[in-house]
Amino acid sequence: MAFKDSLYKSLCRITNGNATKEPEELCCYAYDATGRIFMPDAVVFPCSTFEVSRILELASMEKVPVIPRGSGSGMTGGSLAVQGGIVMAMSRMNHILEIDCDNLIARVEPGVVTGEFHKAVEKKGLFYPPDPASSAFCTLGGNLGECAGGPRAVKYGVTRDYVMGLEAVVPSGAVIHTGVRTAKGVAGYDLTRLIVGSEGTLAVVTQATLKLVPLPESVKTMAVLFPAIDLAASTVCAIIKESVVPRCVEFLDKSSIDCVRGQFGFNVPGDIQAILIIEVDGSQMVAEQDAGKVKSFCLRKGAADVIIASGQKQAAELWSARKSLSTALFRLAPDKINEDIVVPLDRIPEMVKRIQDIQKRTGLSIVSFGHAGDGNIHCNIMYHKKNPQEQMLAESAMDELFSHTLELGGTITGEHGVGITKMKYLPKEVGESEMEIMRGIKKVFDPENILNPGKIFV
């Protein structure tokens, strides 16, 4: 369907000229971290709830897709214009409206970069735990859409646990307010958590009230080196059972270590098969005590070495190695399928074994790292897309991976969402009755199916 010129003119009028349909500009909003490309017909940059409302109202009338977009760092295609239409870039709505130190809450617009928000609240002695690896450039709006997690979820939970209320615009253009500014609230159905994680298919969030916690006085970061992968895997579950709840337990397998070997800030001996990056926090005294407990526990479990970062610099180096992994993987092969499966903690050893089996069977490099402390393993199947046989093998590996995950009581997506890449696998996990209810809910919010169509549901 051709994109009407009159529609474009209306978008320009509503946003005071903050819209574009120049191909060289559109292509900047045509991709995300999946590497797939879908050209939108136009991009619009609203600067207020009122503008978002008028754009959605117009799009509903014209039955044109609207795709809300943060910074396009999503892993499953959530911000791609798969059916063309209008990409709604939230980059101008990037204000931290309030940091309320008395009530430990903040009010933000969706375009605020997550890492900037971290800095702003930490300056005031407060803490916003959700911390996706892309925090340097991803936005809070994107985090809300996907219910982002990150490494600190072990102790602190995910985005959903920090959203108290929302202002959002539904496709009709109506502005809705959900939730509260208080710790408790049960007035009516929980629309807040229904919109969080709905991947921009139900409403466009224009403001969020977020919960903050006091900034822990001290953080201790350590790298635990294991001579065997199964030792690392079984240690993850055991640590938490021992009643120290670390804030992070990150896992890196041998291939991951090889990809970032020079970047840890210390020498990793060649026979090390897995590393856990563990972080504990609390008062100075508690953090030190817990770090000591974790260290001696890991050594008892068979760790070859435990290196406690001596200060912030060494800790930052360690995290930088971990956070650069996702891109460093391309040293192994030009293409990857990146899945964020989750299994119950005690099934991690079995899952790691099964991943190794898939690797053996297919001959592909499969690199596993991620948030082991909550069972969330980022499993990267590396291959050459242009080689049809590798492509086929990679897809069969993914199929198998999901089957094993579900068999072990897990989920096919811990924090990346379904988007377009997992659409066809969703029915493996979610039954038809549940899908029917979800489709029904989608229809309640978006009867014309204009908001981020072609996502989640096959």
**Taking CB under 8 A as the criterion, which residues in 359-418 touch its own copies?**
371, 374-376, 409-418
Tell which one of 27, 37, 97, 174 touches its own copies (CB under 8 A): 174
Tell which one of 136, 137, 435, 449 touches its own copies (CB under 8 A): 435
C-beta of 61 vs 175, nearer to its own copies: 175
The answer to the question of residue 219 lying near its own copies (CB under 8 A) is no
- For residues 1-40, which are near its own copies according to CB under 8 A? none
Token couple for 14: 């509503």
Tell which one of 260, 345, 394, 397 touches its own copies (CB under 8 A): 345
**Residue span binding its own copies (CB under 8 A) among the ranges 82-90, 131-139, 237-245, 328-336:** 237-245
**Residue span binding its own copies (CB under 8 A) among the ranges 17-25, 189-197, 258-266, 326-334:** 189-197
The answer to the question of residue 171 lying near its own copies (CB under 8 A) is no
Question: Within 13 Å of residue 242, how many CA atoms lie on the same side as its CB?
Answer: 17
Tell which one of 33, 170, 280, 306 touches its own copies (CB under 8 A): 170
In angstroms, what is the minimal distance from the CB of 23 to its own copies?
Answer: 34
Tally the residues of the chain. 458
327 burial via Cβ count (<10 Å: 0-12, 13-18, 19+): exposed
C-beta of 43 vs 455, nearer to its own copies: 455
Give the strand order in the sheet containing 42-44.
19-20, 42-44, 86-89, 66-69
Spatial separation of the C-alpha atoms in residues 137 and 151, rounded to whole Å: 17
In angstroms, what is the minimal distance from the CB of 121 to its own copies?
Answer: 14
Tell which one of 136, 328, 332, 430 touches its own copies (CB under 8 A): 430
- For residues 44-103, which are near its own copies according to CB under 8 A? 100-103
- For residues 270-289, which are near its own copies according to CB under 8 A? 282-283, 285-286, 289
The answer to the question of residue 322 lying near its own copies (CB under 8 A) is no
Three-state SS for 152-189 is CHHHHCCHHHHEEEEEEECCCCCEEEEECCCCCCCCCC
The answer to the question of residue 237 lying near its own copies (CB under 8 A) is yes
